[in-house]
Structure 1
Amino acid sequence: MLAWIWVMLILVVIGLIVITPVQITLHYRRAGEEDHLLVELSAWFRLIRRTYEIPAMNVERAGRMPELVAKMRTFQQGKVKKESVNDITGRQVKKWSDLYQELLKRVHDLRPLAKALCKRVRCTRLEWHTQMGTGHADETGALTGIVWGVKSVIVGTFSHMVTLRAIPRLSVQPVWNESVLHTEVNVHLRIYLGHLLHSGLKLLFRMRRGKWLPKWQTTPSQA
């Protein structure tokens, strides 16, 4: 009898984990030369949450390649847990690219797997508002049309990657007599933890299977 109780408890816990939605909130703001990025992961009505804040980002020259220097603060339950300064160089970007290419070789159908996972993501809020001006009316008018076009392309691509559950709210407000740039992006995403676990298990299974397959089977394009 006790064994059945433990089995039922384990099944209930697994069921709760599978149906738990994970909320992802992204907020980016640029005012003049200042950038601010906030990413929050939360579950169970924000009882469990972790926040990553980048209050400052600068692009600096380091030799031939520019690097992105960002100050990051990690919050857990509203308290600062970690504060660090991270830099992203061209060498690191190349290392990530090589790692991605190696993963493509080892994992069969990685791209369809990632595409299917992205489609499981629900976007419940998408807002992108911009105020901009160059100080010249003719340049500002032309640039406003270009910005509208760029936004339309980005939002259209994003809507094909995830499942939109809200109408995107976009705006571009020209400032005719002043040189100014202010943009703000708010995105709310939601995905069930069960979908993440399922995709992770499929990824691990395909990685392990890829170790035992001949190279011509794992990378037919190179055969």
Structure 2
Amino acid sequence: MKLVVCIVVLFFFLLFLVSMMKLSITIFFQHAQDDDEWKITFQTLFGMIRYTIHIPLVKIDKESPGVVIAHKETIEAISKGMMKRSKYTPKEMMDNFQKAKEFAKHVVRLNEIIKKFLGHISITKFEWQTKIGTGNAATTGMIVGLGWSLKYSLLAFFSKYMKLKTSPFFMITPSFHEAASETKFVCMIHFRIGHAMLAGIRMVKYWRGNRFPKRNTFVTKNANESY
């Protein structure tokens, strides 16, 4: 009996430690003409555990409709990683989009759960540099204006729902005399694993079809405020 109690206590202690650990995610994207590169790095335990997804190539398959993505998954200090190639047809993309919509429909108060989770995310690095142009001054000026609007709209969203703990660096370089399309995006965020676990638990709790006792308005309001 004592052994069972010790195991249970140890389990909850380890669960508590994991929930208190911070997870850092670095998103890197670079586009230069026809070359695209994505890299997403996950770090925890003071950087001792690091997992990287490297996507060096995203292109349209000329032989058949679809998008070919080559990606490399690496767990540092364990293996060098393996290159994988995946092909996604338009039908598969639409199916995945439909599944995401169905998931959103099945979770009650999903927007509230996501907003609460986003509130625990801190942004510690945010850089977005762009060079764009068509070779025509008028159209280039219009595109640059749209680019600034897009960047500041994204910044406003992050500032509203997340904790912005750094000064963002934005830059758009217009190319009036030649066509150009280059961009570099770097964003670093971190949050405690426990907040992600709690968001997942709430999604399961509010999944449509689960039977929960109905609560009156006063109880529901208090629960929302304590959330």
1:201 counterpart SS class: helix
* Whole-Å separation in 1 of the counterparts to 2:136 and 2:100: 44
Match of 2:90 in 1: 90
Q: Report the CA distance shift for 1:148/1:106 in structure 2 as closer, same or farther (over 3 A).
A: closer
Q: C-alpha displacement at 1:10, in angstroms?
A: 4.1
Q: C-alpha displacement at 1:8, in angstroms?
A: 5.8
2:66 aligned with 1:67: yes
Aligned residues: 210
- Contact 1:108 1:210 (8 Å CA) reproduced: no
1:138-177 to structure 2, matched below 5 A, reads: 138-177=138-177
Match of 1:48 in 2: 49
Please state which structure has a larger fraction of its residues in strand.
Answer: 1
- Which letter does structure 2 place at the counterpart of 1:149? S
1:210 counterpart SS class: coil
Q: C-alpha displacement at 1:147, in angstroms?
A: 1.6
Match of 1:101 in 2: 101
Q: C-alpha displacement at 1:182, in angstroms?
A: 1.4
With normalisation by structure 1, the TM-score equals 0.81
Q: Deviations over 1:70-112 (max 9, x none)?
A: 1011011153333211123222232223323332343222221
Q: C-alpha displacement at 1:68, in angstroms?
A: 2.2
* Whole-Å separation in 1 of the counterparts to 2:100 and 2:144: 36
Match of 2:188 in 1: 188
Q: Report the CA distance shift for 1:112/1:137 in structure 2 as closer, same or farther (over 3 A).
A: same
Identity among equivalent pairs (%): 22
Comparing 105-114 with 25-34, greater Cα deviation is found at: 105-114
* Whole-Å separation in 1 of the counterparts to 2:39 and 2:49: 17
Match of 2:136 in 1: 136
Q: C-alpha displacement at 1:143, in angstroms?
A: 2.5
* Whole-Å separation in 2 of the counterparts to 1:16 and 1:172: 43
Q: Report the CA distance shift for 1:167/1:87 in structure 2 as closer, same or farther (over 3 A).
A: same
- Which letter does structure 1 place at the counterpart of 2:172? V
1:80 counterpart SS class: coil
Match of 1:126 in 2: 126
Q: C-alpha displacement at 1:57, in angstroms?
A: 0.6
